Amino acid sequence: MTTSKYARRYFLKVTGLGAASLVMPSWSLAGQKRPGGRCNIVLILVDDLGYGDLSSYGAKDLKTPNTDRLITTGMRFDNFYANCPVCSPTRASLLTGRYPDLVGVPGVIRTHLTNNWGYLAPQAVLLPVLLKRASYHTAIVGKWHLGLESPNRPNERGFDHFHGFLGDMMDDYYTHLRHGYNYMRLNGERIYPKGHATELFTQWSIEYIHKRAKGKQPFFLYLAYNAPHTPIQPPTDWFERVKRREKGISEERAKLVALIEHLDEGIGRVMAALKESGVGENTLVIFTSDNGGQLRVGANNAALRGGKQDMYEGGIRVPMCAVWPGRIKPGSHSDCIALTMDLFPIICHAAGADFTHKIDGRSILPTLLGKPQPQEDRFLFWVRREGGRYGGRAYYAVRYGDWKLVQNSPFEPLELYNLADDPAEQRPLGEKHKMYQELFTALRNHIIEAGAVPWQGPPNAK
């Protein structure tokens, strides 16, 4: 069956049979005009926040004044996507600007080899490496989730400072343990802090900001909260407050609302620290989530179908905003379609960090700065590999314009939707539709490209 020029071009790119200029050229920022200034950069990534779980995104039973204020201070995105419906792959894309399966992370990196579905590729160039070359001090506070052992720990992959935990999740927000093991670290040292994880990560970020603000070196802070990921464990007083305020709310929902509101308070404190330390006016702040909200714990993904783990919109579309005083217009909105990996070139451009290697992300900086930016002609891919009931198999989605081909589990058929006509993904169009084969072919070619990248690492990787 014949395929479109777009699918053929993508095949030429991934197989090396055609000129790179035909499709998706790699990004080099060398020589491009930059918006100016040596700004600081704070990237806030929250964990499992539903598309409808901020009051500014339509929630009626929770209050997130600090995050809402942050959003209105800059540009809000309504069509922003995580690179995966689960944690590790999105984080890999964020820090490499690549599709996660092209850097060895098609699924969640975990403690046990038989349930581990990724190994961050040694050749992958991470964002902090490039920022350090541009004279930035680089830090991660909070959740890493891209490797438990050397050589894939934060300080070995470009971060000057690491204050957080290595693992996938905590079994308790107060003990910070996972499978009975302590993954909390201050750089390479195991630590035993006391307190709720959200409060710890907030305080550690504030301390870092105040310390770095005293010097002249610009800084990059990647603040990766684990809230509102399970276990849904808000401080008791926050939970009781929600129960008193929201009449008729379920226990399950009240716990999640309280955990999100507690997180919002922490974000407000971090933003206040930027202002108090005198660097707020020269700091680019980006806020988003690693995937959609988890339905079984009461998350709200607005009118979107599905949630965390799903390839439907509720699993991958997430809140996002960017704030840059004097550069990004307050109260602005964008319908631009973008992914987590697109933040990589934005941050590099803002920092003056040049690179010449290939990435998959596309900078939306012109959009952020209020300049015209035509929608790029590109296929967008999502992949997740998982064990358990998935049996180690992968499942996928691919989008081109308004067309989306989605497989919501390895055991379900591919379904074609037009998101402009059917945003709730309720009316599949069938495999005889001409766009079904277009997207199917592009997805096949992406899988061919990803097949060259191992996702379990070398034989001795654990």
The CATH number linked to 118 is 3.40.720.10
Residue 352 φ/ψ, nearest 5 degrees? 75, 30
Over the stretch 125-161, which tens digit does the pLDDT of each residue have? 999 999 999 999 999 999 999 999 999 999 999 999 9
Q: Is residue 91 part of a domain?
A: yes
The percentage of residues in the chain with a pLDDT greater than 70, rounded to a whole number, is 91
Whether the per-residue pLDDT at 26 is higher than 60: the answer is no
Whole-angstrom distance, CA of residue 258 vs CA of residue 281: 31
- Looking at the fold, whether 73 and 159 belong to one and the same domain comes out as yes
Phi, psi of 177 (to 5 degrees): -90, 155
Give the pLDDT score at 459. Answer: 66
State the Cα–Cα distance between residues 137 and 126, nearest whole angstrom: 14
Same domain, 299 and 414: no
| Residue 79, pLDDT above cutoff 90 | yes
Using alpha carbons only, what angle is made at residue 134 by residues 131 and 138, rounded to the nearest 5 degrees?
Answer: 35
pLDDT over 50 at 29, yes or no: no
Residue keyed to tokens 């305020």: 245
Torsion of CA 56, 57, 61, 62, to 10 degrees: -50
Which of 325, 343, 368 is where one domain is finished? 368
Listed residue (120, 157, 164, 121) closest to 140, CA to CA: 164
Same domain for 391 and 351? no
In the chain, the N- to C-terminal Cα span, in Å, equals 43
pLDDT at position 394, please? 98
CATH assignment at residue 385: 3.30.1120.10
Prior bond of 231 cis (ω within 30°): yes
In-domain check, residue 53: yes
Q: What is the mean pLDDT of the chain?
A: 92
- Active-site amino acid positions: 87, 145
Average pLDDT of the segment spanning 246-275: 98
Q: Tell me, yes or no, whether 22 lies in a domain.
A: no
* Same domain assignment for residues 408 and 309: no
445: pLDDT strictly greater than 70: yes
* Predicted pLDDT of residue 20: 30
Structure tokens at 439: 């997207």
176: alpha, beta or left, given left = phi > 0 and alpha = psi -120 to 50? left
Residue 16 within any structural domain of the chain: no
Q: What's the whole-model pTM score?
A: 0.93
Q: Which pLDDT tens digit goes with each residue over 337-380?
A: 999 999 999 999 999 999 999 999 999 999 999 999 887 789 99
Q: Which value, to the nearest 10 degrees, does the dihedral of the CA atoms of residues 59, 288, 252, 236 take? A: -100
Asked if residue 51 lies in contact with residue 318, where contact means CB atoms within 8 angstroms, the answer is yes
Answer yes or no: do 336 and 441 share one domain: no
181 and 130 in a common domain:
yes
pLDDT on residue 147:
97
* DSSP secondary structure letters along 271-312: HHHHHHTT-GGGEEEEEEESS---GGGT---TT-S--TT-SS
Strand pairing report for 137-143 and 40-46: unpaired
Residues 390 and 414 in one domain: yes
pLDDT score, position 376? 79
Q: How far is CA 321 from CA 72, 90, 165, 257, 290, in A?
A: 9, 17, 25, 21, 13
Which SS3 state, helix, strand or coil, does residue 201 take?
A: helix
Instruction: Output the pLDDT for position 246.
Output: 97
- Is 462 within the bounds of a domain? no
Answer with the one of 368, 401, 418 that is the final residue of a domain: 368
Instruction: Give per-residue pLDDT as tens, 393-420.
Output: 999 999 999 999 999 999 999 999 999 9
Same domain? 310 vs 267: yes
Q: What is the pLDDT, as a whole number, of residue 44?
A: 99
Find out whether 21 and 291 touch, Cβ atoms under 8 Å: no
Gyration radius (Cα) of the chain, Å: 21
pLDDT band at 37 (very low <50, low <70, confident <90, very high): low
Is the same domain home to 272 and 316? yes
Same domain, 123 and 260: yes
Spatial contact of 398 and 381, defined as CB atoms under 8 Å apart: yes
pLDDT grade for 184, boundaries at 50, 70 and 90: very high
Domain count, the chain: 2
Instruction: List residues bridging with 283 in a β-sheet.
Output: 40
Q: Is residue 460 part of a domain?
A: no
The residues near 87 (Cβ < 8 Å, ≥ 6 apart) are 47, 108, 143, 145, 168, 229, 290, 291
Boundary-marking domain end, from 342, 368, 394: 368
Query: pLDDT (tens digit, 9 = 90+) per residue, 65-78?
Result: 999 999 999 999 99
Q: How many helices (H) does the chain have, and how many strands (E)?
A: 11, 18
Average pLDDT for 247-253 = 97
Quote the CA–CA distance of 242 and 238 in Å, as a whole number: 6
Domain encompassing residue 429: 378-450
Could you read off the pLDDT of 84-124 as tens digits, one per residue? 999 999 999 999 999 999 999 999 999 898 999 999 999 99
**Considering the domain boundaries, does residue 59 fall inside one?**
yes
Domain assignment present for 459? no
- Shared-domain flag, residues 331 and 420: no
Verify that 214 and 166 share a domain, yes or no.
Answer: yes
